[in-house]
């Protein structure tokens, strides 16, 4: 019995990392992903990079979306990337960052392995579409 015809459910981890306590955006994204038919695991607030890595590995998510509004993205995101690599989980996860990220930092983050950065005012549809098109083949 083949499962070829079956559509794979996309699993996402929506994560808040670091000290910032603004989770409205993360909630909106979680809800939008749910309505798009994705399974969304929400990390909760104030998570350390190691916690995010642990969750991403155990949950075996296709997509890891990190929301950061504190400005600490240059410190926190590379830690998550390194952690994922440690568990051999980086290659087949789509890493997204959302929040207030200066243009100059975007390129650097992408170089580190972030697939896309979504700033304020991004249409939900755009993010969902991006996930659908870029979710890693497994």
Partner 1 sequence: MSGEQQTLIEGLLAGEYRALARAITVIENREGGYRELVAALHGYTGNADVIGITGSPGSGKSTLVDKLALTYRERDEQVGIIAVDPSSPYTGGAVLGDRIRMASNVGDMDVFVRSMSARGSLGGLSTATADAVKAFDAFGMDRIIIETVGAGQNEIDIVRAADTVAVLVPPGSGDTVQTLKAGILEIADVFVVNKADLDGADRTVMELREMVGLGDEAIIDGGAKHGHATGTESTENDPEEADWTPPIVETVATRGDGVDELIEEFAAHGSYLDESGRRAERERTRSAEELRQLLRSDLNGMVEDEIEQQGGIDALVESMIDGDRDPYTLSDEILTPIEECLAEQREG
Instruction: In angstroms, give the least distance from the CB of 58 to partner 1.
Output: 5
* Site for partner 1 contains 42 (CB under 8 A): yes
Please, which residue, 37 or 102, has the CB nearer to partner 1? Answer: 37
Residues near 5 by Cβ (< 8 Å), separated by ≥ 6?
A: none
Give CA–CA dist 30/65, Å, rounded: 10
Interacting residue with partner 1 among 9, 104, 111, 121 (CB under 8 A):
9
Hey, what's the torsion of the CAs at 116, 32, 137, 85, to 10 degrees?
50
Please, which residue, 44 or 119, has the CB nearer to partner 1? Answer: 44
* Site for partner 1 contains 55 (CB under 8 A): yes
Residues near 30 by Cβ (< 8 Å), separated by ≥ 6?
A: 14, 40, 42
What number of H helices and E strands is found in the chain?
Answer: 5, 5
* Site for partner 1 contains 137 (CB under 8 A): no
* Site for partner 1 contains 89 (CB under 8 A): yes
Q: Where does this chain bind partner 1 (CB under 8 A)? A: 1-4, 6, 8-9, 11, 30-31, 33-44, 48, 50-51, 54-55, 57-60, 87-89
């Amino acid at each position: 019995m083949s499962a070829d015809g079956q559509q794979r459910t996309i699993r996402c981890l929506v994560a808040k990392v670091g000290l910032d306590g603004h989770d409205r955006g993360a909630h909106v994204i979680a809800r939008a992903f749910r309505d798009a038919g994705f399974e969304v695991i929400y990390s909760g607030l104030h998570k350390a990079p190691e916690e995010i890595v642990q969750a991403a590995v155990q949950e075996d998510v296709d997509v890891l979306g990190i929301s950061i509004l504190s400005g600490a993205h240059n410190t926190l995101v590379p830690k998550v990337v390194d952690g994922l690599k440690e568990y051999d989980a980086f290659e087949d996860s789509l890493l997204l960052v959302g929040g207030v990220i200066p243009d100059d930092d975007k390129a650097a983050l992408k170089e580190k392995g972030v697939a896309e950065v979504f700033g304020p005012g991004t249409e939900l549809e755009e993010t969902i579409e991006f996930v659908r098109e870029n979710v890693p083949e497994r």
